[in-house]
Structure 1
Amino acid sequence: MARIKPQALLIQSKKKKGPTRVSVTTIVLCNLVVVLIVLSLFATYRHWSRRSVEHIGGSGLPNHVSTDGLDDSKKYDLPGFAILNTSKGYITVELFKDGSPEIVDRFLDLCQKGHFKGMTFSHVIKHYVIHGGDSQGLGAAEEWISKGKLRGQLNTSPKHEAFMLGTSKIKQDGKGFELFITTAPIPDLNDKLIVFGRVIKGEDVVQEIEEVDTDEHYRPKARVGINNVTLKRDI
């Protein structure tokens, strides 16, 4: 067999094909495809994240939803506590969502609309009740509060103990809502008051409010009232 000269081997190696080179156009197209895929995934993530936030409410508090026809799980999602920021301090109230669902629902709706912001306690009767509400209802409230103080002691209901939150049973217009906080057991309010919550923190603030100076009609001489209300699901 004839030996191949080194010069011939060099010529043959030069004739062999080198590795196929990828063109610049192909590289650019591949990069564009990758970028488009990443952008598509990011857009999809933002879309579903936004829908999730809108579903639970962007303010951190649930949007008002009527409790009529809702099952227990949906009612449970509603705030169960209200923190009254008063001119004397904070009062935390547990709401009776099961016992008085319609009243609680209306109370929550008015809270979110800012109805109680700036509400004054128009009547303060020591060892009896604190009353806040519209000026239109002052006459009627003063009458039954005064009569209630003169009545004899009756068997008390658990719902009418001290530090209970209620509203008047008297039919009010869609904008009005009276608030009452009892400062002693009130057995004679069964026909006058709908209890929808109880004070669980801030009893000392309630007692400080009932110590304010009042005139002969139980109206505080200096303004005392609610600055705002904060709703909470849990405490």
Structure 2
Amino acid sequence: MAKIKPQALLQQSKKKKGPRNISVSTVVLYGVLVVLLVFFVLASYRHVTERSRVQTKDGLPIRKNLGAYGGSKKSDFPRYAIFNTSKGMISVELYKDGVPDVVNEFIDACQMGQLKGMQFHRVIKNFVIQGGDFDNEITEEWTSKGKHYDQLDTSVKHEAFMICTSKGKRDKEGFELFITTAPIPDLNKKLHVFGRVIKGEDVVQEIEEVDTDEHFRPKSWIGITDVTLERKI
């Protein structure tokens, strides 16, 4: 029997352990799998980033227009707004079922920061507090006619501490806000009532007592420093 030299044995061993040839189809398959994996990771990252970006403090989704709330559950809507004013906190219940379009517009305005820093530029004692549009003379029009309310409508829309906005054409860059401080029979003709003060009536009354000039404009700055939307309080 012929002996095999050590060098021949080493060469045979290397041949046995050498890598097998990989087919082109296998390379293509693995390449496709890697691409799909990278795409899935990127898509997941974008979804998480977008979701976190459109969340408010309490998890309420922010949208550029509130029509986006149409597919959400009723429980997802904020039911309350907390006004942090220069005189204290005012808690407001929103009438979502009564005037959904107006409430949607108000929520949108809050989330876009339109009420942050809003000044109450007219304060009429025993009547209304107004913030928003400086050019709107709606309250002066009312007061020029006098306030002779012998027969008051008992509708909730005519009570004090109602939260309202003008029925007129509104600028999309701002939101006009009214807080009534007395029953107003003409409210339905001029304003949309979309909420009421449930806590902080004393703060509203304190604002009502500030010094004003002959045009009902406060002599010192007073207004809303910030607004928080809540599902429950």
TM-score normalised according to structure 2 size: 0.72
SS at match of 2:186: helix
The answer on whether the counterparts of 2:55 and 2:62 sit within 8 Å (CA) in structure 1 is: no
User: Counterparts of 1:213-228 in structure 2 under 5 Å?
Assistant: 213-228=211-226
Say if 2:122 and 2:216, in contact at 8 Å, map to a contact too.
yes
Cα distance between partner residues in 2 of 1:156 and 1:74: 33
SS of the residue corresponding to residue 149 of structure 1 reads coil
Shift of 1:48: 6.9
Q: How many correspondences in the alignment?
A: 190
Where does residue 194 of structure 1 map in the other structure? 192
Partner of 2:158: 160
* Stretches of 4+ aligned residues off by more than 6 angstroms: 47-50
In the superposition, relative to structure 1, how do residues 185 and 172 fare at CA in structure 2: closer, same or farther (>3 Å)?
same
- Determine the C-alpha separation between the residues in 2 that align with 1:52 and 1:148: 57
2:200 aligned with 1:210? no
CA distance in 2, matches of 1:192, 1:118: 25
SS in 2 for 1:209: helix
- Seen in structure 2, the aligned counterparts of structure 1 residues 147 and 208 have a Cα distance that, compared at 3 Å, is same
Q: Are residues 1:229 and 2:227 paired? A: yes
Q: What is the letter of the counterpart of residue 175 of structure 1?
A: E
Q: Per-residue CA shift, 1:40-65, capped at 9, x if unaligned?
A: xxxx99x9798578557443332125
Contact (CA 8 Å) 1:156, 1:186: kept in 2 or not? Answer: no
Separation in 2, partners of 1:49, 1:124: 50
SS of 1:197's partner is strand
The match for 1:63 is 62
Assess, with a 3 A threshold, how the Cα gap between structure 1 residues 69 and 149 changes in structure 2: closer, same or farther.
same
Where do 1:1-235 residues align within 5 Å? Answer: 51=47, 54-55=50-51, 57-60=54-57, 61-64=60-63, 66-67=66-67, 70=70, 74-137=73-136, 139-147=137-145, 149-150=147-148, 152-235=150-233
Contact 2:109 2:174 in 1 (8 A): no
* TM-score (ref. length: structure 1): 0.71
1:85 CA displacement: 0.6
Structure with bigger gyration radius: 1
Q: CA RMSD in A?
A: 2.6
Post-superposition Cα deviations, 1:207-231, rounded to whole Å, max 9, x if no partner, equal 1000111112211111111111111
Q: Any unmatched runs of 5+ in structure 1?
A: 1-43
